[in-house]
Every structure is written in structure tokens, then in C-alpha cells.
Amino acid sequence: MKISTLLKWITGIAEALLAIPVAGGLFILSTGWGALMFMFVLHLITLIFSIREQRFSSGSILGLITSMVGAIPIVGWLMHSITALVLLIDGALSMRTEQKVE
């Protein structure tokens, strides 16, 4: 499994956890928006590996945007949900193409 694929799964699961209504918002607030800064850096790292491995990077770009607007209550929840879906689907498709290559 390529590093970009693993990072897409990790960021997708983390985004899904942040998308849990109330709990995700409380977690973000309790960390003083540190969780959003951490996710921004993690999405940036995933983007760099995706580009280096010539993989789709739309989920990571969406994640960077989500990390910037994630503090807005309803918009943040919607963006975290969409980003989680995009990253998890992208991770699954990446695994599938990696298996076909081998």
C-alpha cells in the first residue's frame, strides 16, 4: 500500500470523526481549533505524497479548504462530511488500482 493511500484512509477517518454532530464541534472547540490546524498539516502532507506518487489529490485539497472553514458550525459539519466521503472513496479507489497493478 502506498503512503498516500494510507494517509487518505487516516485523514478520511479523522474527518468522519470531526463530522459527528456536536461531538466533533466540541472536540474542535476544546482543542482551541488546534484539531483544525493539525488536520490542515495532515492534509498538506497527504497532498504532497499524492502528488509525488501521481495519485488523485482532490480529497486533500478539499481537506485543506475544510480545515480553513471548519470553525463555522453548520458549514464545518457539512464540509467535514463531504471531505470524509471523498477521501474514503479516493482511498478505496487507490487500493483497487494498486491491486490491479500488482
**Is the residue at 22 inside a domain?**
yes
**Is the residue at 92 inside a domain?**
no
DSSP state of 69: H
pLDDT per residue as tens digits for the range 37-89: 999 999 999 999 999 999 989 999 999 999 999 888 899 999 999 999 999 99
**Is the residue at 54 inside a domain?**
yes
- Please report the pLDDT score of residue 66 as a whole number: 95
The pLDDT-based confidence of 1 (bands split at 50, 70, 90) is: confident
**Is the residue at 70 inside a domain?**
yes
Of residues 11, 83, 18, 88, the one with CA closest to residue 44: 11
Range of the domain at 78: 3-86
- Please report the pLDDT score of residue 102 as a whole number: 64
How many domains does the chain fold into? 1
Q: What is the pTM of this model?
A: 0.91
- Please report the pLDDT score of residue 97 as a whole number: 82
Helix axes 58-69, 34-52, angle to 10 degrees: 160
